[in-house]
Amino acid sequence: MGHLLLHLRGAALPRIPHPLRRQSQARTAPHPYAPDFHAFAKAGKRLAELHVDYEKQTPYPLEQREKPGAKLDLRVEKMRLSKDKQTLIYNDFLTLTGIPKEVDDYRLGNRSALEWVIDQYQVSTDKRSGITNDPNRPDDPEYILRLIGQVITVSLETVKIVNALPDLGIPKEAEKADRASASTD
């Protein structure tokens, strides 16, 4: 095969079209470059730093309400978010309040990043194997509490960065058509 390519090196090879190229070109017009490319590049760099280093972010200052007379307990079994999503029942001892509404604007699929943490960071036991998943860290009992604050900080910063991006100049109808064709692929 290598010898064949050496002999054909100077010859004009036929252009074989990719089977999806024609189809994709027919559906959408080519998108121009962003009018302010540098703003998007800067935002992308900041978002990458923010998300890669999420554990280095300063936790958002939530108000911590402790149950009077109860012993200090930072262990999580299962957290619950209030209906207005501004209060988090951390455990029987601790409730966190003052969660900004904008936290819910940063979505991971169909839920916020905070809701994802609440779902993932709970004690659970697999019915088949009997293996218990316990996210609590005996060596760092404040880890989950700190993580919640950091996820709130990352969510708020992400929303702020994305909302500050300049308009792409794509007509709203074209955006809807692109999303509709992308969802059918």
> What confidence tens digit (pLDDT) does each residue in 124-136 have?
999 999 999 999 9
pLDDT over threshold 50, residue 3: no
Domain membership of residue 179 (yes or no) is: no
Q: Is the CB of residue 28 less than 8 Å from the CB of residue 181?
A: yes
> Nearest Cα to 65, choosing from 99, 96, 90?
96
For 35, phi then psi, to 5°, come to -55, -35
- Rounded mean pLDDT, 91-101: 97
Number of H helices, E strands in the chain: 6, 8
Q: Which domain holds residue 118?
A: 52-155
Domain membership of residue 10 (yes or no) is: no
Domain membership of residue 176 (yes or no) is: no
Domain membership of residue 73 (yes or no) is: yes
pLDDT at 30: 56
pLDDT at 34: 72
pLDDT at 149: 98
Domain membership of residue 138 (yes or no) is: yes
Number of domains in the chain: 1
- Rounded mean pLDDT, 42-49: 95
* One-letter amino acid of 148: I
**Confidence class for position 168, pLDDT limits 50, 70, 90:** confident
Alpha carbons 10 and 41: distance in angstroms, whole number: 40
pTM, two decimals, is 0.74
> C-alpha 140: how far from its chain's center?
25
Alpha carbons 148 and 130: distance in angstroms, whole number: 28
Count of beta carbons in the 10 Å neighbourhood of residue 184:
7
pLDDT over threshold 50, residue 104: yes
- Rounded mean pLDDT, 132-146: 96
Domain membership of residue 166 (yes or no) is: no
Q: What is the 3-state secondary structure (H, E, C) of 15-56?
A: CCCCCCHHHHHHHCCCCCCCCCHHHHHHHHHHHHHHHHCHHH
pLDDT at 133: 95
Reported as type and span, the H/E element at residue 81 is strand 80-81
Q: Chain-wide mean pLDDT for the chain? A: 84
pLDDT at 6: 43
> Nearest Cα to 101, choosing from 76, 81, 78, 120?
81
